Amino acid sequence: MKNQKKQKRKRFYKKSIWPSIVLFVIFMASCAGLVTTFVASFQGYLVDSKISDIQEDARNLGRMIDFNRNEKGKTIFETVSYVQAYLEEEKSICITNEREQILQQIGDTVPDFERTEHISIFAPFRVRTPYRMMPDLDLRKEKRDSILKLSFQEIVRRSLEELSDSSYEDDRWMEKPLYHEYYWVEVPIKNPGYRVYYRDALTIVQKDVFFMNLAVLIELVLLGVPTVLLFVNVWSSIAMQKRMVNLLYQDPVTGGRNWIYFLEHSKKILCQFRNTNHTYAIVNLHMIRYQDYCACYGSREGEELLQKIDGFLRISIDRGETFARFAKADFGLLLRSSSKEQCEKRLKKMLVELTGIKKDKMMSFSAGIYLLHPAANSKREKRRQINIDQVYHFACAARGTMRGKEGEYIKVFDQQILQEQLWKNKVEETMEAALLNGEFKLYLQPKYHPVTEKIVGAEALVRWISPTDGMIPPGRFIPVFEENGFITRLDDYMIGAVAKLKSEWKLMGLKQIPVSVNVSRVNFVKEDLAEHICHLVDSYGADHAGIELELTESAFFGNKELLLQILKELKLYGFTISMDDFGAGYSSLNSLKDLPIDVLKLDMDFFRGEDEKQRGEIVVKETIRLAKALHMKIVAEGIEKKEQVEFLAEQGCDMIQGYYFAKPMPVEEFNERVKQDC
């Protein structure tokens, strides 16, 4: 899915800008072709018109010679001499025989019969003439090509030189010649045995070049308007693409780079520096209690703080590193270092500097690290296989192991954390199937009276018996279920199992012993929880009075009004309410005062620690006295020694639960104990 999104982004980039660029290139090539074609055509027209004038003079001369010979009976030599009188001084005539041997010359020069028949004034375009054109014979002293040329650039250069030397008041500057050469053209006559050649000048003046340049300029102006418009369109497309890319890679809160950019840029960095010996670190940087900060100073102040953190990181990272905000107050960093120790040292310095980013406010940060060693990532192919998103979550998992540990702010992901993460993934992948396949088993731990040592109750505990992993203790899967919310499904399963067991006892005629079952705190956000539990129990036909619902004291720190409402409804339905692990955390006496609790379970930590034994006994003694005054029953759990049992019996404790009497056991074994006890 991620690869598909990346490909879509690349296709978007290409679609958004390349059509405009290709269109612009095609248009510019077309314009260049049009201008070149136009200039070449104009040049050809100019040269052709000049040559056509010379050829037209030659045809007129031929008609005059033929007329004088036919009408007046003159010889060709007399006719040419007669015509020569009407020609201009620089124009000459030459008569030859069929072998081009000169018979009569009128003028100072003769044609060079060995030269080419073609002339090209504007190379590389050649203008072919229907008649032979030859230069003067005396031009052979210049060593030139077989084709007489004069480039367009040379004509323009001469035009500019003449223009700079001319006065603006000179009205004849446009008639100044830029190119002036004499050429011989064969005159068409009807007299066999003779050939007549006519000498005339091919002249290009300033006016010719001026009008040609003016036409080119007009064409450039006409083409320039759409060119400018198209260029503006292409530039706008490029600017729009940059804006859209910035929006795609921009974090809406900090204004810096977002997580998409981090994932793509990190992969590029790791591939680019594949041949280095650097150790790279993916870091999860987390601000502790960011929600509390926002609650105290407002969300706007919180966003400004994130912007300051972003600015600090921007100046703290080096070339070949990157960072971006992941979510809330979590930032992902890709840092380069020479070793694990150097990376930790650098991060410690950053954390210290971050704590003072707001001088008037106290803040703290923590970081999780996942190291990418060069030994495992020296090849480009291996670095391409790195899942940056997954590696970042490994860094998050490393930071999560420090939760609740004072004085520890940096943790490197190791094999143990990896195993825990793999186990968590395995639990989440198999929990649904385990519930459907009945792998969760109901175990019971008896509760004994401290004086009679008879079974007076039991606590329902869950055990996961996996066909592959065997018996899985609750501490291995209950925290995972509480984190992902599956604990509510397990609670329903256990309540139903207890209700079913109570119904079976009733049918079997066994002693109806009260059974307590845990209800997780996450359930107490449901307003219809009491009706839901009642429906589960009623579906098996069990009595409500024999089922005790245990709540941990952490449940009392949520929505107290909703909790009180649910507990009152459960009491109305006939259920018994128990507070589990009283004293494990920061128990509030207000909970005992305000909530309808029937049973109070003392945490096992009251009975541990030899140094504080006397103080613990005082607390237990007063707690039992207080509970009795509030008409509550007392259960002491985790009891393992006889002297503890004797002390609790003296204080009037109602029930004892612990390894001193029995461990949690399967239902069948518990039933046998009840029968023996009776």
Q: Is 12 exposed, middle or buried (0-12, 13-18, 19+ CB in 10 A)?
A: middle
Q: CA–CA separation, 320 vs 272, rounded Å?
A: 9
Exposure of 414 in the CB half-sphere (CA atoms within 13 A) = 6
Retrieve residue 539's tokens.
């579906």
Measured between alpha carbons, how far is residue 260 from residues 2, 11, 248, 256, 267 in Å?
A: 10, 16, 8, 12, 11
Residues 234/20, Cβ–Cβ less than 8 Å: yes
Q: CA–CA separation, 128 vs 133, rounded Å?
A: 10
Q: CA–CA separation, 625 vs 511, rounded Å?
A: 30
Q: Name beta bridge partners: 106.
A: 93
637 belongs to the catalytic site: yes
Assign 63 to helix, strand or coil.
helix
Assign 192 to helix, strand or coil.
coil
Assign 597 to helix, strand or coil.
coil
Q: Which of 321, 548, 553, 637 does the annotation list as catalytic?
A: 637
Instruction: Give the contacts of 290 (CB within 8 A, at least 6 positions apart).
Output: 302, 328, 329
User: Which of 420, 562, 534 is closest to 483 using CA atoms?
Assistant: 420
Backbone angles phi, psi at 44, to 5 degrees: -60, -40
Residues 181/202, Cβ–Cβ less than 8 Å: yes
Angular region, 574: left φ>0, alpha ψ -120 to 50, beta rest: left
User: Which of 502, 445, 444, 454 is closest to 654 using CA atoms?
Assistant: 454
Exposure of 200 in the CB half-sphere (CA atoms within 13 A) = 22
- CB 144: neighbour CB atoms within 10 A? 11
Q: CA–CA separation, 584 vs 639, rounded Å?
A: 15
Q: CA–CA separation, 635 vs 626, rounded Å?
A: 14
Indicate which residues carry an active-site annotation.
637
